[in-house]
Amino acid sequence: MSCFEGMKAYYGSTDGKGRLFRPLRNMARLKSSMDRLGFPTDWSETEFLECIRELLRVDRRWLPPREGFSIYLRPFAYASGAALGLKAPTSVTLAVLLSPSGPYYAQVRRSRPPTPGDKRDVHSVSLHRPAA
């Protein structure tokens, strides 16, 4: 069994300082997910966030100080005991992965206007399922 959260670290556009986007909300959701799975929740959210901040300080070279770039963080927990099955875990591991991330789109993409008389946009991406 496992659960995860997702959050971003980025540089502020006006002051160039490192930022985490809503970290306390992410920690609260992770703890709530862990509770739902029967994982222990006696860890400190602020202490885990300080560990994440220290990891970002150590690996800061992976975060380019350019607009649109960020580091995606994936805090996660998994049952790491020796047993298989759906039961309360005997051991849980709490960890975080980092992955540098660039802008979502290389440039702004505008869809073509719908054909006159159509009630739907026949050029809409939702009809074609393109992969990135």
> Domain for residue 10, yes or no?
yes
Q: Is residue 126 part of a domain?
A: no
CATH number at residue 14: 3.30.470.10
Domain contains 16: yes
* Prediction pTM value: 0.72
Percent of the chain at pLDDT > 70 equals 78
According to DSSP, residue 107 is labeled: S
Would you say residue 42 lies in a domain?
yes
Domain count, the chain: 1
pLDDT per position as a tens digit, 30-80: 999 988 888 899 999 999 999 999 999 998 888 877 888 889 999 999 989
Q: Which domain holds residue 11?
A: 2-106
Counting beta carbons within 10 angstroms of the beta carbon of residue 30, is it exposed (0 to 12), middle (13 to 18) or buried (19 or more)? buried
Q: Is residue 98 part of a domain?
A: yes
